[in-house]
Amino acid sequence: MSGANVCAGGIRQHYLRYRSEGSPLVLVPGITSPAVTWGFVAERLSARFDVYVLDVRGRGLSSTGPTLSYDLDTLAADLVAFADRLDLDRVTVLGHSMGARIAIRAAARNAMRFAQLILVDPPVSGPNRRPYPSNLSWYVDSIRKAETGMDSEEVRAFCPTWSDEHLALRAEWLHTCFLPAIVTAFEGFHTDDIHMDIPKLEVPTALMVAGRGGVIEQRDEDEIRSLNAKIRIARVPAAGHMIPWDDFEGFFAAIDELVGTDLAKAR
């Protein structure tokens, strides 16, 4: 694994690379997940892909602060700019939660760089839809604690099922999540209509759904299929929204089912 920074989209974009001889894959994390917290997933993915894990602006070591924009269109443009800057051709994008919404918007508007999308439990809230099942206060309270310093046991109050290793990483890195960026993303879950983008997805697209957590329900799957019948869907029944944290092997089994890899065997 190595880390690097590039200037792309007018900002510093930091990423971690898990190099292999495979085709390129860009992993775009969720709303409060710096790149380093996805390292345990990237290591397994590197058995098949040359993996780049992004710090989305306002998180981790990428550009941040009050002068930047954090809306979905800007984040999607960052992803395209990153792929262009590194000349990543025919790239797979694996996005989790907010990262999946970024991937949807980016591919709907500029699909030339993308070979396929793997969308992991994206919020399907939006205008005139039911709200995202998590509360904004959960993010605000945890980040404010992190800004003053918090330890693993304090993180456990917010993430009670996580391992000690993952609690420690979150305690170390959560303070890098710029609170206004998080608030903008959360509000965007309710104001941005990603459903209008789904029919525009021309690249092969796979959707992974958490069996627990209520982010994507059966009626949402049915609607997504009605909007784009080519989207392949697999469920991970035992997992909540943070799928690889809840069912690590189930996460890779679902990827194998969706895109024909053999990652579940790469232990």
User: Residue 130: which residues within 8 A CB-CB, separation 6 or more?
Assistant: none
Band (pLDDT 50/70/90 cuts) for residue 60 is very high
- What pLDDT is attached to residue 89? 87
Considering only CA atoms, which of 166, 194, 211, 215 is closest in space to residue 33? Answer: 166
Residue pointed to by tokens 């984040």: 75
Cα distance between residue 30 and residue 19, in whole Å: 22
Mean pLDDT of 95-122: 95
Which tens digits make up the pLDDT trace of 23-34? Answer: 999 999 999 999
Alpha helices per DSSP H over 119-163: 136-148, 152-156
Residue pointed to by tokens 């069996």: 211
- What pLDDT is attached to residue 182? 98
Strand boundaries in the chain, DSSP class E? 2-8, 11-18, 23-28, 49-54, 91-96, 114-120, 205-210, 232-236
Q: What number of other Cβ atoms are within 10 A of residue 215's Cβ?
A: 19
**Catalytically active residues, by annotation:** 97, 217, 241
pTM: 0.97
Extents of the domains making up the chain = 2-126+191-265
Residue pointed to by tokens 């960052």: 78
Cα distance between residue 212 and residue 158, in whole Å: 17
The class that CATH gives domain 2-126+191-265 is: alpha beta
Which tens digits make up the pLDDT trace of 170-193? Answer: 999 999 999 999 999 999 999 999
Three-state SS at 237: coil
- Asked whether residue 266 carries a pLDDT value surpassing 90, the answer given is no
Which tens digits make up the pLDDT trace of 66-94? Answer: 999 999 999 999 999 999 999 998 999 99
User: Residue 80: which residues within 8 A CB-CB, separation 6 or more?
Assistant: 9, 106, 109, 110, 113
